[in-house]
Structure 1
Amino acid sequence: MSEVRPEIPAVPPASTSGHQPAPAPDGLPFKPVLTAKQAKRANQTIKGMVISVLLTVAVVIPVVLLNPGSKPETYHRNIDVPAVALEAKAAAGYLPVVPAMPEGWSANYARWTTGGSAQVAAWEAGYLTPGGHHIALTQTDKANPTWLADATGQAPVTGQRRIGGADWQLRDSGSGSKSLVLEESGYTIVLAGGADLDEFDALGTAVAGVLDGR
């Protein structure tokens, strides 16, 4: 006759901390409970992360606000182009062209550039049309094929336009940006941007009028 002995349940290993974990309900995973010291450490870590983020934001916001490129008025301000052109005359060796703009137009920059890596010094001015488009004017007396290709965005020659009594070369990339190029009196003038052709015609007429008056 065999003897049946009752099964003795397995005893979980003792915790190294000296505390026995509370048994988990059947079928549910064991959920660890943080000690007071662990909870305090976790809270300190979260607080440190929040403080770090706030400090980063405090540093970034002033930089963004002080960046001229982030301000809408940068694109709509009206620069005194004739005054800047007079200042640039000594460096340029000639008075840069300053077209008389029709009503509703404005200028958002005017400057003399020394050429940089292109080695071609030039007069640059930017104009905003009444339709909200932008046309960049560039003038130099030291143009070369490489510089001209860069100034027109490598766009191919697609035609010619008679504007203000002068023949302008039209270069169109087909992506919305186009350029008009005028060779006149030893100068090369490039008008470039995404404006409509009638807006290019208005600026081109004003530029040609200045050159005719010299």
Structure 2
Amino acid sequence: MAVIVGIVLVLLLLVPRPNQIPTRDINVASAALGAQPSVGFTPVQPDVPQGWTPRAAGLETGTTNNIATWQLTYTTPSGTYAGVQQAQNVTEAWESRQVTDGKETGTETIGGVEWVVRSRTDRGTISLVHRGDDDITTIVTGTAAELEMDQFATAVATALK
């Protein structure tokens, strides 16, 4: 038994271990270009302030009602999550899934765009839903503090115009 433990300890000392999780470089513009034919519109690409790091960008299919969905997520400067989902001709089921069944609590105008607020306070998640005249629904959702969520929603609203 001591021999086995000794071998394991030697291997642990010899095998290099990273001190942090490596980050991937996400090219948002390239991902949006690739998603465009499937979603049928130009996906939103918000110009976020410095300190926001894209975590994932791409097309999601095969979920609720097989609606092709543009998804873009960021880590905020404070280390929380903010993202945007966007699709055309959505169903109520699709929207409810994107906002984790958050209840409508009113409306807000942020960045010159009217958003329906849907929140899940039990999960610490806020979602802002913009139902566009062009049948494109844009949802900003996250666990970020109100200031960062407003910053993100403003960047998304600016990109929608």
TM-score of the superposition, structure 1-length normalised?
Answer: 0.63
After TM superposition, what 4+ stretches of structure 1 lie above 4 angstroms from structure 2?
none
Q: Which has the higher helix share?
A: 1
Q: What's the RMSD between the two structures over aligned residues? A: 2.6
In the alignment, what sits opposite 2:73? 126
In the alignment, what sits opposite 2:130? 182
* Contact 2:38–2:68 (Cα < 8 Å) also in 1: no
State the Cα distance separating 1:209 from its structure 2 match. Answer: 1.0
State the Cα distance separating 1:78 from its structure 2 match. Answer: 4.2
**Residue 73 of structure 1 aligns to a residue in which SS?**
coil
Alignment match of 1:200 (pick from 130, 149, 157): 149
Structure 1: stretches of 5+ with no match in the other structure = 1-45, 55-60, 66-70
Structure 1 CA distance for aligned equivalents of residues 146 and 113 of structure 2: 15
* Contact 1:178–1:192 (Cα < 8 Å) also in 2: yes
Alignment match of 1:160 (pick from 100, 107, 120): 107
Q: Which has the higher strand share?
A: 2
Residues 78 and 199 of structure 1: CA distance in aligned 2, closer, same or farther (over 3 Å): farther
Structure 2 CA distance for aligned equivalents of residues 167 and 93 of structure 1: 23
Structure 2: stretches of 5+ with no match in the other structure = 9-14
TM-score of the superposition, structure 2-length normalised?
Answer: 0.82
Count of residue correspondences: 153
State the Cα distance separating 1:72 from its structure 2 match. Answer: 2.6
* Greater relative contact order structure (CA < 8 Å, 6+ sep): 2
State the Cα distance separating 1:83 from its structure 2 match. Answer: 1.3
Quick check: 199-208 or 110-119, which moved more?
Answer: 110-119
Alignment deviations for residues 174-204 of structure 1 (CA, whole Å, 9 cap, x no partner): 1211111111232111112211121111111
AA in 2 matched with 1:141: Q
